[in-house]
Amino acid sequence: MLAIYPGSFDPITFGHLDIITRACRLFERVVVVVSHNPGKSPLFSVAQRIEQIRQSTPHLSNVEIDSYDGLTITYARMRRAQVLLRGLRVLSDFEKELQMAHTNKTLSDEIETVFLATSTEYGFLSSSLVKEIAKFGGPVDHLVPQHVALDIHKCYVQNPLASTLRPAMPTSMNSLPRNSLFQEPEI
């Protein structure tokens, strides 16, 4: 049985890899489909995302990585897939994904949507969160594979945000430097 796991994967996270790994145990073949979402400005090109996924999944013999622009259901019919895979993290994901599953069912009655709940340790994780942490100089190597963390770092080193940030204001008088304009009162 062929399952399609579509997404933007910008970048791929350990949460995505959790879904892919578990799907590979459930289905004969899993195709990870990188899609271009015109509503988003991606950090990585489709080719870069495909390569990041490829480097993250060499241990999975029944996974294939591809890309497609257009309706996922059209791609699934073209590939003769029986299943569309969707990962669920939180309740708000379910509402959106259920609506999409019903819509896809009206477009192709022979393809089922299967939801996999993300493992507990990845329930908070999203690509957007990873990019936001990295944008402000935080570490992301515990959220994405090492090679992806390096790619992300390269993106933000080339376009550093830090130069546009103003220094933080001290939160208390005790954190002011001694040579500050503010003088400590003499006792």
Instruction: Please report the pLDDT score of residue 102 as a whole number.
Output: 95
* Domain assignment present for 161: no
Q: How many domains does the chain have?
A: 1
| Rounded Cα distance, 155 and 158, in Å | 5
Buried b vs exposed e over 66-102: b needs ≥16 C-beta within 10 Å?
ebbeeebbebbeebebbbbbbbbbeeebeeebeeebe
In tens, the pLDDT along 49-104 reads 999 999 999 999 999 999 999 999 999 999 999 999 999 988 778 889 999 999 99
* Domain assignment present for 47: yes
Contact of 108 with 72, CB cutoff 8 Å: no
Going by pLDDT thresholds of 50, 70 and 90, the confidence category of residue 159 is low
Which residues are known to be catalytic? 16, 40, 89, 127
Q: Is 163 among the annotated ligand-binding positions?
A: no
Q: CA 107 → CA 43, 57, 104, 110, distances in Å?
A: 31, 31, 5, 9
Instruction: Please report the pLDDT score of residue 47 as a whole number.
Output: 96
Q: Is 128 among the annotated ligand-binding positions?
A: yes
* Domain assignment present for 85: yes
Q: Is 180 among the annotated ligand-binding positions?
A: no
Q: Is 136 among the annotated ligand-binding positions?
A: no
Contact of 130 with 144, CB cutoff 8 Å: yes
Average pLDDT, the chain: 86
Mean pLDDT value of segment 115-144: 93
Residue 62, domain extent: 2-120
Tell whether the model's pLDDT for residue 45 goes beyond 70. Answer: yes
* Domain assignment present for 162: no
Q: Is 183 exposed, middle or buried (0-12, 13-18, 19+ CB in 10 A)?
A: exposed
* Domain assignment present for 158: no
| Rounded Cα distance, 128 and 100, in Å | 20
| Rounded Cα distance, 28 and 151, in Å | 31
